[in-house]
Amino acid sequence: MIATIRVNGQEETLTADTLAELVAARGVRRPRGVAVAVNGAVVTAARWPEVRLAPGDAVEIVRPFGGG
């Protein structure tokens, strides 16, 4: 069975061990202005490397964007 997680509402194969790896794979190089939650709990950027991901986790990554 393939392990999956949900990222911003989309199911995908779990390929990262930690939250930091997942966020980096999404192109986030600096945490400033980025909010991340795992299973509904906000995780500060300082904790991203220590948060291990598990099958079934729900991750939300919110980045600011310009517009008007």
User: Has residue 68 been placed in a domain?
Assistant: no
User: Has residue 18 been placed in a domain?
Assistant: yes
Interatomic CA distance for residues 61 and 68, integer angstroms? 21
Query: Which residues span the domain enclosing 46?
Result: 4-62
- The tally of domains found in the chain comes to 1
Q: Note the pLDDT tens digit of each residue in 2-61.
A: 899 999 999 999 999 999 999 999 988 888 889 999 999 999 999 999 999 999 999 999
Q: Are 39 and 58 in contact (CB under 8 A)?
A: yes
User: Has residue 47 been placed in a domain?
Assistant: yes
Interatomic CA distance for residues 30 and 53, integer angstroms? 20
CATH number for the domain harbouring residue 28: 3.10.20.30
CA of 23: how far to CAs of 45, 53, 68, in Å? 10, 12, 26
Q: Which two tokens stand for residue 13?
A: 């194969």
What is the 8-class DSSP label of residue 66? -
